[in-house]
Amino acid sequence: MSTTAVTVVYFWKIKNRDIGFALLRMALDRGGLRRMKGVTFAKMLGTGKGETFTPRDADANRWGCVVVLDERQLDALDNSKLIKRWRAKSIEEVRFLLDPISSHGLWAKKNPFAYSSTQTDGQVVAITRARIKWLQNFRFWRAVPPVTQSLHASDGLIRTIGIGEAPIGLQGTFSHWNSGADLRNFAYKGAAHQSAIAATERHGWYAEELFARFAVRDIRGLITK
């Protein structure tokens, strides 16, 4: 991976009247993102409350994407027809520029964040993503609420958004924290999270999983409820 790589995450909030646009572009823009110059990984994302990871969590008014690319192509991405098309329909846009601190696991059979930042302080973002085995979905859904309640009550959490490539089976979380210490306290000291980790090992919920931690280089825009 090039040392000039950067991870970019966009979230857009749209009006109800533009939900049809979003559903269409989710299908059409997947290939368009991947074909852009300098892009090594790209996924269009639906979002949700991230409380149960069932379809009822879905937020049809917020959509997003995650892109890993050579940072010399960042302006080209930001001014591309694809991004401008979403921007024109959005009533709110936020863009995170992120540098991975650590990343473990696979997303679509690769680790797209396998390059590291030297930043050790400041705000951080965590991205978790899992491909859930179909027969394990119901067991997984039953285990999620205590973890999400603990997450939302955690000190230092700025914002969390459920993310997914599909309504069922491809689930994840984008969480924004005041510091790496706050994230570590949730991940390693929270009883609910530790119980879920143990259950994961016991039941083998996931066909594929990834956890990545990022330093926040820049944020443009705001996320509202």
- Bridge partners (DSSP) of residue 94 are 11
- The verdict on residue 72 lying in a domain is yes
Domain with 57 in it: 5-219
135-176 per-position pLDDT tens digit: 455 455 555 555 566 666 678 899 888 888 865 445 788 999
187: tokens are 């991940």
DSSP state of 154: -
DSSP state of 110: B
56: tokens are 């009822």
- The verdict on residue 224 lying in a domain is no
Task: Give percent of the chain above pLDDT 70.
Answer: 72
- The CATH number that applies at residue 15 is 3.30.70.100
- The verdict on residue 153 lying in a domain is yes
Q: The whole model's pTM is what?
A: 0.84
Q: Is 27 exposed, middle or buried (0-12, 13-18, 19+ CB in 10 A)?
A: exposed
